[in-house]
Amino acid sequence: VEGSAGVFVSGGSEANFTCLQAARQWAAQVDGWDVRAEGVQRMRYPFVLYQSDQGHFCIRRSVEAMGLGRNAIHIIPSTPSLQMDVDRLRDQILADWGAGLRPFCVVATAGTVETGTIDPLDDLADLCAEQGLWLHVDGAYGAFGILDERVAPLYKGIERAHSLATDQHKWLSVPIDCGCALVRNGAALRDAFSLTLPNQDEHEPWLSEYTLQRTRRFRALDVWAVIHSAGRNGLARAIAHNIKMAHLLAQLVEAEPDLELISSGPLSIVRFRFAPPELRNEPLLLDRLNKALVHEMQQQGRAFLTSTSFQGKEALRACIVNYMTTETDIRTIVDETISVGKKEHSAINRGSTKKR
């Protein structure tokens, strides 16, 4: 897009941080003041921004580091489908304007880290346009899912975002650390960080004028190498395959009486837990069991899952982003969960017996 700017950074945290700096810069410019000179220490109209209750905590860290304070993040409840509730967002924005605050940015998520849910980007873009807010999309985990044509429609509206944060070191298999901050209004990004006049880097943009970091590694080389070797089609195939493998995992979990499917998002994240029928009405035991289970599985090293807690239920979370993931790997996850789960269950039983 003409006038846009993009810069490689260390990962999703810095990508989001960098985009939010541009958003703040832009909002202050709209209001006719220089946030870099004056800071926000004497704000009469405090900045506020919005994120759903499914959004990632790196946004919170950025906002804290920027001195806005995490109280400046107004958390919008999500709908039952775990998407940001646009009606409640509108109500909150209107209430905040009324309270003398300065709404300036909505942080949407394209692929939440817990379930891979994509916020209703097109509706959010409409609302941001209506209210004069910056729409930032955190696509650290999920943005590249758009390459899979079967889920691409879920991303409708992402092209209207003012900024987008991505992590090449996640779904693009680029070595750690590599993220990217993309900003439509490139001047706002430059204005947020630059120390030189724009005409000084007219011909070759100085990347150090677009981020906090100055001296930097040649990250673009890693990205180029991956794109060059896999091609757009290769990447799309790998991502579509990951999503297919996640759906397979969800199916296998559903078919196993000893497992319970917690959530299966549109992308490649699946949450489930070990829950044999005889224990289904023992929630505390199940929580304890699944917590021990994930720890033990990580120790065993045959499959790597992380723990997750959703609506009070301890569970396991699989996030499939390795292009080499096979059906065998997926079946290993299922088998390993059941086998380690049974072992942990009998260990707990023995423990209980001893105590009696």
Following CA atoms 348, 353, 355, 356 in sequence, which dihedral angle do they give, to the nearest 10 degrees? 140
Residue (of 6, 318, 323, 18) closest to 174 by Cα position: 323
Per-residue DSSP letters for 173-226? -PPSS-EEEEESSHHHHHHHH--S-GGGGSSS--GGGSSS--S---HHHHHHHH
As measured in angstroms, the least distance from the Cβ of 215 to a copy of itself is: 5
Kind of pairing between the strands at 313-319 and 269-274: antiparallel
Taking contact as CB under 8 A, which single stretch among the options 17-25, 284-292, 296-304, 323-331 is the one that binds a copy of itself?
Answer: 17-25
Question: For residues 57 and 304, which CB has a smaller minimum distance to a copy of itself in the complex?
Answer: 57
Q: Is residue 177 at the binding interface for a copy of itself, with CB under 8 A as the rule?
A: yes
Q: Is residue 94 at the binding interface for a copy of itself, with CB under 8 A as the rule?
A: no
Residue (of 215, 252, 256, 230) closest to 328 by Cα position: 252
Size of the site for a copy of itself (CB under 8 A): 45
As measured in angstroms, the least distance from the Cβ of 203 to a copy of itself is: 14
Tokens found for residue 12: 């999703």
Whose tokens are 């943005």? That residue is 143
Q: Is residue 287 at the binding interface for a copy of itself, with CB under 8 A as the rule?
A: no
Question: For residues 42 and 232, which CB has a smaller minimum distance to a copy of itself in the complex?
Answer: 42
Q: Is residue 72 at the binding interface for a copy of itself, with CB under 8 A as the rule?
A: yes
Question: For residues 43 and 248, which CB has a smaller minimum distance to a copy of itself in the complex?
Answer: 43
Q: Is residue 66 at the binding interface for a copy of itself, with CB under 8 A as the rule?
A: yes
Q: Is residue 38 at the binding interface for a copy of itself, with CB under 8 A as the rule?
A: yes
Site for a copy of itself in 178-197 (CB under 8 A): 193, 195
d(CA 79, CA 3): 35
Q: Is residue 233 at the binding interface for a copy of itself, with CB under 8 A as the rule?
A: no
Q: Is residue 58 at the binding interface for a copy of itself, with CB under 8 A as the rule?
A: yes
Q: Which residues bind a copy of itself (CB under 8 A)?
A: 10-14, 17, 21, 24, 35-43, 46-47, 57-58, 60-72, 169, 176-177, 193, 195, 212-217
